[in-house]
């Protein structure tokens, strides 16, 4: 599925997990003009260089979603409409930001 989703990707860098370290995915990312920031698989003999500052951003995003899931209304999606759910996400994000 990664190749199909890459068609819609935008940006300067493609930050992903070790599971996306495949030659065909790296080639598609480079073909789109993005820099692949993917931690190489331990079995790779010659790992490509990794931009660690960009790779750390992935952890910040993952930690944010982890914190966001602590809000029960956001994690279980009780709201019926997308507008109300987006409002819950906004309020939860503001509370996390103010913390």
Distance (Å, whole) CA 87 – CA 74: 10
pLDDT tens string, the chain, 99 residues long: the values are 788 888 888 888 888 888 888 889 889 999 999 988 888 888 888 888 888 888 888 878 888 888 988 888 888 887 888 898 899 899 999 999 898
Distance (Å, whole) CA 16 – CA 48: 14
Break the chain into its structural domains and give their ranges: 2-68, 72-99
Q: Is 21 helix (H, G, I), strand (E, B) or coil?
A: coil
- pTM exceeding 0.85: no
């Amino acid at each position: 599925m990664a190749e199909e989703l890459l068609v819609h990707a935008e940006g300067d860098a493609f930050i992903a997990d070790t599971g996306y370290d495949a030659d065909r995915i790296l080639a598609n990312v480079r073909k789109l003009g993005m820099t692949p920031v993917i931690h190489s698989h331990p079995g790779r003999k010659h790992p490509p260089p990794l931009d660690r500052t960009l790779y750390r951003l992935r952890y910040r995003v993952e930690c944010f979603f982890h914190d966001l899931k602590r809000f029960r209304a956001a994690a279980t999606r009780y709201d019926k409409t997308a507008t109300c759910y987006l409002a819950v996400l906004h309020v939860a994000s503001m509370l996390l930001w103010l913390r």
